[in-house]
């Protein structure tokens, strides 16, 4: 492991300690080994000065507004699983409403008055919709069983629209195969068709956490440190593949990897390298401490670190989206408005100080803009029995 970067990380840790004060929130629900990493630290402030500055730039906010939004997002993240349990079969999804600074919960008309009172008294807004999340997920699952042509980009449940949204590439919408897929998708349940500018692609780079690593002639980015190694994207390497670091020295080996279907992997670390609970800010913001992995709701702010385009921020747009890459379909990804470029694959998505996931792929770039998907980190931890390295 390089000595200069570790010294830099150590300095970042010391600088951040002064900015992480006390601000209590409700804990996010978790069970088993995930509980410790998924619960936000009760004593942590919404974010460091660097993250607040990045939020101000990304969303045009004042510092006070950025602090208020991040604090409200933490409260919404803690409330979301409780609202889902309270709603039961009437639950139709939830999202963070940035205009009101609170969680909004969608309920079907058969939700009881007591359920509505419980959710409102906890601080959430309510929207009444026709279809439950169970019905929408069932419709999406039926679409997942279809074979998608390359002109179909992705599909997802959109709780705000109370429908399944199918994205097709704008200049491919008239293709017979695309029209046939859309027709069959509509038979599955409530479906809305939208267009996107380009087809999604993975962001590995040839021959050329956000820190870079190399597998053969492919460069990707480290996601998050776990005890014994780090997590990253599955399309970056197969089990048994060796990994070298930014300086060409041997890091370790891919111990597990899945792609397509999933897009996650984990790499063991040895040979003098070690793990630290930090995400690189690349000079745009200070390096960020990782304190847990509480899942941020749709609508929350989120930032990404990668070895090509470095640090960029945006918003969580959708969850449980099925993405149709040219290499195969990947399920249960989270969609964001954050840009990415080749080499950013596997890099870190973080909201405040909470790990969210590893970069999978997207469309566009960080000059003209685009959208990017990530594989949720808690799924990776659960799949391989890993523990997130947190401060």
Mean pLDDT of 161-179: 96
pLDDT value of residue 45: 58
C-beta of residue 177 within 8 angstroms of C-beta of residue 151: yes
Q: In terms of DSSP bridges, do strands 301-306 and 310-325 run parallel, antiparallel, or are they unpaired? A: antiparallel
Q: Which CATH number does 202-384 carry?
A: 2.40.10.10
Segment 187-216, tens digit of pLDDT: 999 999 999 999 998 876 543 378 999 998
Q: What is the pLDDT of the chain when averaged over all its residues?
A: 87
pLDDT value of residue 38: 47
Question: What are the catalytic residues?
Answer: 235, 263, 345
In the beta sheet, which residues pair with residue 313? 303
CA-nearest of 174, 132, 168 to 150 is: 168
Segment 324-370, tens digit of pLDDT: 999 999 999 999 999 999 999 999 999 999 999 999 999 999 999 99
Claim: this prediction has a pTM higher than 0.85: no
Mean pLDDT of 228-251: 93
| pLDDT-based confidence at residue 270 (cuts at 50, 70, 90) | confident
Q: How far apart are CA 76 and CA 72, in angstroms?
A: 6
Mean pLDDT of 4-13: 36
CATH architecture of residue range(s) 133-199: 2-Layer Sandwich (3.30)
Q: In terms of DSSP bridges, do strands 163-169 and 191-196 run parallel, antiparallel, or are they unpaired? A: parallel
Classify each residue of 165-192 as buried b or exposed e, where b means 16 or more C-beta atoms within 10 Å of its C-beta. bbbbbeebeebeebbebbeebbebbbbe
Segment 70-118, tens digit of pLDDT: 999 999 999 999 999 999 999 999 999 999 999 999 999 999 999 999 9
What percentage of the chain exceeds 70 in pLDDT? Answer: 87
pLDDT value of residue 53: 83
Give CA 319 to chain center in angstroms.
Answer: 8
pLDDT value of residue 2: 38
> Which of 117-126, 243-252, 301-310 bottoms out in mean pLDDT, i.e. has the lowest?
243-252
> Which of 36-45, 174-183, 316-325, 349-358 bottoms out in mean pLDDT, i.e. has the lowest?
36-45
Mean pLDDT of 237-261: 94
The structural domains of the chain, with segments of one domain joined by +, span 133-199, 202-384
Mean pLDDT of 368-388: 97
pLDDT value of residue 271: 79
Mean pLDDT of 211-239: 95
Look at residue 44 and tell me whether its pLDDT is greater than 70. Answer: no
What end-to-end distance do the CA atoms of the chain give, in Å? 19
| pLDDT-based confidence at residue 46 (cuts at 50, 70, 90) | low
Give CA 140 to chain center in angstroms.
Answer: 20
pLDDT value of residue 261: 97
- Please confirm whether the linkage preceding 260 is cis (ω < 30° from 0): yes
85: Cβ–Cβ under 8 A, 6 or more apart, which residues? 29
pLDDT value of residue 100: 94
Look at residue 30 and tell me whether its pLDDT is greater than 60. Answer: no
Look at residue 4 and tell me whether its pLDDT is greater than 90. Answer: no
């Amino acid at each position: 492991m390089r000595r200069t970067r570790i010294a830099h990380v150590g300095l970042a840790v010391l600088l951040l300690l002064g900015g992480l004060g006390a601000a209590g929130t409700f804990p996010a629900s978790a069970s088993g080994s995930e509980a410790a990493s998924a619960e936000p630290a009760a004593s942590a402030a919404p974010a460091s000065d660097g993250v607040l500055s990045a939020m101000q730039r990304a969303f045009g906010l004042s510092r006070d507004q950025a602090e208020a939004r991040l604090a409200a997002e933490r409260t919404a993240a803690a409330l979301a699983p409780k609202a889902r349990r309270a709603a039961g079969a009437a639950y139709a999804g939830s999202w963070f409403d940035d205009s009101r600074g609170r969680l909004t919960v969608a309920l079907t008309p058969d939700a009881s008055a007591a359920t509505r009172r419980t959710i409102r008294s906890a601080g959430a807004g309510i929207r009444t919709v026709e279809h439950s999340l169970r019905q929408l997920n069932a419709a999406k699952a039926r679409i997942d069983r279809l074979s998608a042509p390359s002109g179909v980009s992705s599909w997802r449940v959109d709780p705000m629209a109370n429908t399944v949204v199918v994205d097709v590439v704008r200049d491919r919408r008239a293709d017979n195969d695309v029209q046939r897929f859309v027709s069959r998708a509509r038979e599955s349940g409530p479906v809305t068709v939208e267009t996107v500018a380009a087809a999604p692609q993975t962001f590995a780079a040839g021959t050329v956490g956000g820190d870079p690593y190399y597998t053969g002639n492919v460069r990707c980015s480290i996601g998050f440190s776990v005890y014994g190694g780090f997590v990253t994207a599955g399309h970056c390497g197969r089990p048994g593949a060796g990994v070298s670091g930014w300086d060409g020295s041997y890091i370790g080996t891919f111990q597990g990897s899945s792609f397509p279907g999933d897009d996650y992997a984990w790499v063991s670390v040895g040979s003098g390298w070690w793990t630290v609970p930090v995400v690189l800010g690349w000079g745009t913001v200070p390096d960020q401490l990782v304190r847990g992995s509480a899942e941020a709701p749709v609508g929350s702010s989120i930032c990404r670190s990668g070895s090509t385009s470095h640090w960029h921020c945006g918003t969580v747009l959708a969850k449980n989206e099925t993405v149709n890459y040219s290499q195969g379909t990947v399920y249960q990804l989270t969609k964001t408005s954050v840009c990415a470029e080749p080499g950013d694959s596997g890099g870190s998505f973080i909201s405040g100080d909470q790990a969210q996931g590893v970069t999978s792929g997207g469309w566009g770039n960080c000059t003209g803009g685009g959208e990017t998907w990530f594989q949720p980190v808690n799924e990776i931890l659960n799949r391989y029995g890993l523990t997130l390295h947190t401060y």
